[in-house]
Amino acid sequence: MKDKVIKVDYLARVEGEGALYVKVKNGYVVDVKLRIFEPPRFFEAFLRGRSFMEVPDITARICGICPIAYQMSSVHAIESIFGVKPTRQIRELRRLIYCGEWIESHALHIFMLHLPDFFGYDDVIQMSKQYPDLVKKALRLKKIGNEIVRIIGGREIHPINVRVGGFYKVPKKNDLKKIEDDLKWARDFCVEAVKFLAGLDFPDFEQDYEFVALSHPDEYPFNEGRIVSSKGLNISVNEYDSYFIEEHVPHSNALHSSIIGRGAYFVGPLARFNLNFDKLSPLVKEVSLEIDFKPVCKNPFKSIIARAVETLYACDEALRIISEYEEPENPFVSFEIKPGIGYGCTEAPRGILYHRYKVDEKGIILDAKIVPPTSQNLKMMESDLWKFTATYLNLPEDELTWKCEQAIRNYDPCISCATHFLKLYIERE
Amino acid sequence: MKGNKEKKILIVGVGNLYRGDDAIGILMARYFRKFFKDSVKIIGVDATFEDLICDWKNFDVVILIDAIMGDDAGKIYRFEYGIDKIPAVLKFYSTHSFGVAEYIELAEALGTLPKKLIIYGIVGNKFDIGDSISHRVKLSCKNLVGLVLEDLNSGKFLF
């Protein structure tokens, strides 16, 4: 069939609300639109006039899946204005709570949202009838991630213990020791899961992506580092606005990001893995090499493996931090409020999350800019759809539609965050 | 709660405090927490339902309270899992791709349902961010308290 329209009115298994429209004319793809119709929420606007102290708690409300990322990017941005240098133990606790968020968010996406695509099930409910033990283990894994966030953050969803300078209260060593056995189980399960996921059938599809992630000289990135890319970009976080631009497109309430003069780019687990493989722990590198999963992987469908590798890393790293943890004398470091502009960029589960704030001499927010990872991947998702649909145009309509949805889920889009969501239309004329 | 100490009871309030009528489940859970103190476990759930379906199999009775979408705001529906069929026109409200009904189905597939699951759905019609709770939904809360107490005090669960 030379002409067709593929429409998915309501894309399932993504966080938020959106739709996809693909138009094919005379055998060529002529239009792809990832329609994001969830209304914008104006967080940046209502941060203006609030105290800097409120920012971590307000921005945490942007997402129920990745609130830690919002808290972390915001506190780092504000701390850069005041010249705050967190102590080693506070830094380690921030990495640990981020491990919790990666575990719960990645587990949700790998097993509940993405894996049913590979088995041909409509959803995890259907999949769980065939694979109940796997789903039960996945739920246990997610719960362990939530538990880390609860212990350090005060509660699983929208935690309330993160503040500029550190935390309001820090956990006792014994509080963390209690989850060590669960984390050891989680680490073993992740080793099994990585090997299992590597055996899935992946569509043969690659693009010449520009992968973008943080890079730190000593560690796999969570909170700190320079912004680097697979095509030579290497900038400090405060240079972000000079290299990246957000644009409004008529069919989306979420802005589209691009690298100025270069275009679409790819953030998230696959980008981090490709750019930071050498910083993974010995166990994680060993397991990755055993399944022959190594950089540079350019098949976005294999993001599910990268996400599982990172979950394994998060369990391993959490165990390291807990074993070395000593309760800090003070839960936060003191600082003086100063006016200025601050920049923060941390690695949310779905990729880099950029925050910029301008504050006055009293610490009141004068201006805020937040660029979530899904906004940064939207242009790349549309690019994948252009090429993927063109390559697999001869597939039966329902199979092509399914694969298009899967191609979007490769990115684990969080549309609620980006609007700041998903439904698919493929039109053949 | 005479005689119910042998039974492990969980009351679950489901919802989102910032989306109008969707807050009602959480608010009712908070009310019951004060009412029952430690005799009944009470939790509020917004987005951690995956954890709940792992844990609730350890309870004899689970009473779940949530807002549901419908035209007759304030009307209370009571469903007992395995006995009543949830009418197709009623959907549990969820801002995520999975709603309460789907999680119950997942728990059934995984064999993690509690011994008895009672679902109270209060029909709401204001679910946008920042909405207040509808007057008719507020008025129905008192009736809901009575219905839950009746469940817990009735001979149905051998209390």
How far, rounded to the nearest angstrom, does the alpha carbon of residue B25 sit from its chain's CA centroid? Answer: 6
For residue A27, the 8-state DSSP code is: T
Mutate to test the interface with A, among B16, B18, B48, B129 (most CBs of A within 10 A): B48
What's the pLDDT score for residue A428?
Answer: 53
What's the pLDDT score for residue B125?
Answer: 86
What's the pLDDT score for residue B82?
Answer: 83
pLDDT > 70: percent of chain B: 80
Strand A425-428 to A18-25 pairing = parallel
Nearest CB to B106: which of A12, A113, A125? Answer: A125
CATH 3.40.50.1450 fits B9-157, yes or no: yes
* Residue A368: its H or E element: strand A365-371
How far, rounded to the nearest angstrom, does the alpha carbon of residue B139 sit from its chain's CA centroid? Answer: 17
What's the pLDDT score for residue A253?
Answer: 77
Mean pLDDT over residues A325-347, rounded?
A: 97
Which class for A174: exposed (0-12), middle (13-18), buried (19 or more C-beta within 10 A)? exposed
Please state the φ and ψ torsions of residue A285, each to the nearest 5 degrees.
-60, -45
Lowest mean pLDDT among A349-363, B29-43, B139-153: B29-43
What's the pLDDT score for residue A100?
Answer: 98
Ligand-binding site membership of A370 (annotated): yes
* CATH at A38: 1.10.645.10
Ligand-binding site membership of A404 (annotated): no
CA distance A15 to B59: 30
Vertex B48: Cα angle to B79 and B74 (nearest 5)? 40
User: For chain B, how many helices (H) and strands (E)?
Assistant: 4, 6
Cβ atoms of B116 and B63 within 8 Å: the answer is no
Identify the top-confidence range among A55-64, A259-268, B98-107, B131-140: A259-268
pLDDT higher for A406 or A225? A225
Strand A18-25 to A226-229 pairing = unpaired
Q: Which of residues 157-216 of A touch B (CB under 8 A)?
A: 157
Structural domain count of chain A: 1
What's the pLDDT score for residue B97?
Answer: 54
* A135: chain B residues, CB-CB within 8 Å: 106, 109-110
Q: What is the dihedral of CA A378, A379, A380, A381, to 10 degrees?
A: 50
Chain B interface residues facing chain A, Cβ-Cβ under 8 Å? Answer: 18, 46-48, 50-51, 53-54, 95-98, 102, 105-106, 109-112, 129
The verdict on pTM exceeding 0.95 is no
- The predicted complex's ipTM stands at 0.75
Helix (H, G, I), strand (E, B) or coil at A215: strand
CA distance A166 to A155: 17
Cβ–Cβ contact A140 with B under 8 A: yes
Range of the domain at A217: 4-428
Nearest-Cα distance to chain B for A91, in Å, is 27
* B102: chain A residues, CB-CB within 8 Å: 123, 125
Lowest mean pLDDT among A4-13, A277-286, B148-157: A4-13
**pLDDT reading at A426 higher than 80:** no
If we measure between CA atoms, which residue out of A190, A154, A187, A189 comes closest to residue A169?
A154
Closest chain A residue by Cα to residue B112: A136
What's the pLDDT score for residue B33?
Answer: 83
Vertex A163: Cα angle to B130 and A365 (nearest 5)? 60
Closest chain B residue by Cα to residue A155: B48
Strand A28-36 to A18-25 pairing = antiparallel
If we measure between CA atoms, which residue out of A179, A180, A155, A166 comes closest to residue A327?
A166
- Give the CA distances from residue B42 to residues A146, B32, B38, B58, in Å, rounded to whole numbers and listed in that order: 19, 7, 9, 14
Domain range list for chain B: 9-157
pLDDT tens sequence across B79-117: 898 888 766 545 555 545 567 788 888 899 999 999 999
Tell me the one-letter amino acid at B48: T
CA distance A99 to A94: 9
Cβ atoms of A383 and A258 within 8 Å: the answer is no
pLDDT tens sequence across A348-393: 999 999 999 999 999 999 999 999 998 899 999 999 999 999 888 8
Mean pLDDT computed over every residue of chain A: 91
Could B50 and A108 be called an inter-chain contact, meaning their C-beta atoms sit closer than 8 Å?
Answer: yes
CA distance A109 to A331: 33
**pLDDT reading at A158 higher than 60:** yes
User: Can you read off the two tokens belonging to residue A157?
Assistant: 């969803």
Mean pLDDT over residues A341-352, rounded?
A: 97
Mean pLDDT over residues A177-195, rounded?
A: 98
Tokens 């030579």 — which residue?
A232
**pLDDT reading at A12 higher than 70:** no
pLDDT tens sequence across A15-30: 666 788 888 888 888 9
pLDDT tens sequence across A384-422: 999 999 888 888 888 888 888 889 899 988 765 544 333
pLDDT tens sequence across A173-182: 999 999 999 9
Mean pLDDT over residues A267-281, rounded?
A: 98
Helix (H, G, I), strand (E, B) or coil at A403: helix
Q: How confident is the model at residue A42 (pLDDT cuts 50, 70, 90)?
A: confident
Please state the φ and ψ torsions of residue A138, each to the nearest 5 degrees.
-65, -40
Cβ atoms of B119 and B68 within 8 Å: the answer is no
Which class for B72: exposed (0-12), middle (13-18), buried (19 or more C-beta within 10 A)? exposed
Mean pLDDT computed over every residue of chain B: 80
If we measure between CA atoms, which residue out of B94, B93, B90 comes closest to residue B70?
B90
